[in-house]
A and B are shown apart, each in its own frame.
Chain A
Amino acid sequence: MIDYANLFIKSIFIENMIFAYFLGMCSYLAMSKTIKTSVGLGFAVIFVLTITVPLNFLIDKYLLKEGALSWVGPKYAELNLDFLSFIMFIAVIASMVQLVEMIVEKFAPALYGALGIFLPLIAVNCAILGGSLFMQIKNFSGITESAIYGFSSGIGWLLAIVAIAAIREKIAYSNVPAPLKGLGITFIITGLMAFGFMSFMGIKL
């Protein structure tokens, strides 16, 4: 249990997708002009990460890894389909996003109204593919662990985008040097926030 809690805290604060690895920076910069849209996008990212990371974990474990196909038969045991992982992961992500979009539209129209426009955008958000690729490197032992990793990385991403959106709403009224307006100051603020998040480093439960 304590391991799960550790992983949870670590993925939110210490290995934050935005501040430590710069994943999903494009949508982070483009969609953070108002708090409302950033919250919508953040929840969509949590949602999709929580689904795709465990799914890709299963695919990696039972199809792609070296020796993963041994459940099919002994002569498949030495196959290593690792080189297919990029294509498999991105195909799973793209189709899952499509599927989730259809399901949400059918069964939860209100949620669709809130998330709808963001879901297609997410298929090409680096944070989603990054989550799956990190999952592959980190060698998680089980599906619960990978699900927790996906969920908490999503929360970290949401925190980051909502925080920057709030700052950007305020900074619109400040007197920023003209060449720094917009993009430049956002970069510098993100850098300063990343310094702040570094203070979480080393926290362990």
Chain B
Amino acid sequence: MSNTNRTLLSDPMDDNNPITVQVLGICSALAITVQLKAALVMSISVMAVMAASNVIISMLRDLIPNRIRIIVQLVVVASLVALVDQVLRAYAYDVSKELSIFIGLIITNCIVMGRLEAFALGNGVWRSFLDGIGNAAGYGFILILVAFFRELLGSGNLLGYQVIPDFVYEMGYENNGLMLLSPMALITVGIIIWIQRSRNRKLIEN
């Protein structure tokens, strides 16, 4: 793998993270971060949709007339999301119930459209595939990080299993129910942005 291809994968993890730097794909992402499991499933679904749609649009990029490209992209993404939704309903019904409308909202997730517009329309298939994987990984990384802290501090569990041992509770430790409420997702992301920009000072806005 050449150097430029490697940056396609590594760049979205930090310097060009979809959520904390590009500010794309926040819609719908945060509502499902109460539990780690839902966040994992969501990240995998987004990765599948992004990689596949990037590949398809990149293959079709010379055939799509410029004026109707948004509609074409929407149709491709919507069909892929419908596919993912059906697969989830068949093999992971309870998770799919929990994610409810948020799987459908991957269609309008700006990160998918954003990468199609900005990258897949102008680059080859293999590079577009890597870009899709990389950006979905950067997106999933933040999602999983938020869900990790919310589930750990909010209910003392990870992936549904208790991780904080009983004797800690006996010593007087309490779960912080506040973390389970939706506003804490926003504040957690705010803190993640704070930490990231303190370490990586070139990202600071003026």
Contacts of A136 in B (CB 8 A): 101
Dominant SS among interface residues on chain A: helix
Contacts A94-B71, A179-B204 given; indicate if A87 touches B182 (C-beta within 8 A). Answer: no
Q: Which residue of A lies closest to B186 (CB)?
A: A191
Residue A1 CB within 8 A of the other chain = no
5 tightest CB-CB pairs across the interface, nearest first? Answer: A187-B190, A182-B205, A179-B197, A191-B186, A194-B183
Tell me the bound Cα distance from A188 to B186 in angstroms.
6
Q: How far is the CA of A87 from the CA of B79 in the complex (A)?
A: 7
The answer to whether A19 and B82 touch across the interface, beta carbons within 8 angstroms, is no
Residues of B at the A interface (CB closer than 8 Å) are 20, 23-31, 70-71, 74-75, 78-79, 81-82, 85-86, 100-101, 104-105, 107-110, 113, 181-187, 189-191, 193-198, 201, 204-206
Q: B31 contacts which chain A residues (CB < 8 A)?
A: 21-22
Enumerate chain A residues within 8 angstroms of B75, measured Cβ to Cβ.
Answer: 87, 90-91
With CB as the reference atom, state the residue of chain A lying closest to B33.
A22
Return the contact of A184 from the options B24, B85, B182, B193 (Cβ within 8 A): B193
Give the contact stretch, choosing among A45-53, A57-65, A120-128, A141-149.
A120-128
Nearest chain B residue, comparing its CB with the CB of A128: B108
**A29→B18 CA distance, assembly (Å):** 14
A133 contacts B86, CB within 8 Å? no
Q: Tell yes or no: A36 within 8 A of B by CB.
A: no
Determine whether the beta carbon of A94 is less than 8 Å from that of B74.
yes
Binding site for B on A (CB under 8 A): 19-26, 29-30, 83-87, 89-91, 94, 123-130, 133-134, 136-137, 177-188, 190-192, 194-195, 198
Decide: A129 and B105 in contact? CB cutoff 8 A.
yes
Evaluate contact between B187 and A191: CB separation under 8 angstroms.
Answer: yes
Q: Is the CB of A178 within 8 A of B183?
A: no
Known contacts A83-B86, A84-B82; A19/B182 CB under 8 A: yes
B105 contacts A23, CB within 8 Å? yes
Q: Once bound together, how far apart are the Cα atoms of A83 and B206, in whole Å?
A: 46
The total of interchain contacts (Cβ-Cβ below 8 angstroms) comes to 147
Taking CB atoms, residues of chain B closer than 8 Å to A134 are 101
Given A86-B107, A182-B205, A191-B190: A22 touches B78 (CB 8 Å cut-off): no
Task: State how many angstroms separate the Cβ of B115 from the closest Cβ of chain A.
Answer: 13
Asked if B190 contacts A195 (CB within 8 A), the reply is no
What residues on A are CB-neighbors of B205 within 8 Å? 181-183
Inter-chain CA distance A187–B86, complex, in Å, is 33
CB <8 Å contact, A126 and B86:
no
Q: How far is the CA of A87 from the CA of B71 in the complex (A)?
A: 11
Closest beta carbon of chain B to A162's beta carbon, Å: 18
| Interface core residue of A26, A125, A127, A188 (most chain B CB under 10 Å) | A26
- Please name all residues of chain A whose beta carbon is closer than 8 Å to the beta carbon of B109 when the two chains form the complex: 126
A to B CB contacts below 8 Å, 7 in the list: A21-B182, A25-B28, A84-B82, A86-B104, A90-B78, A94-B71, A194-B186
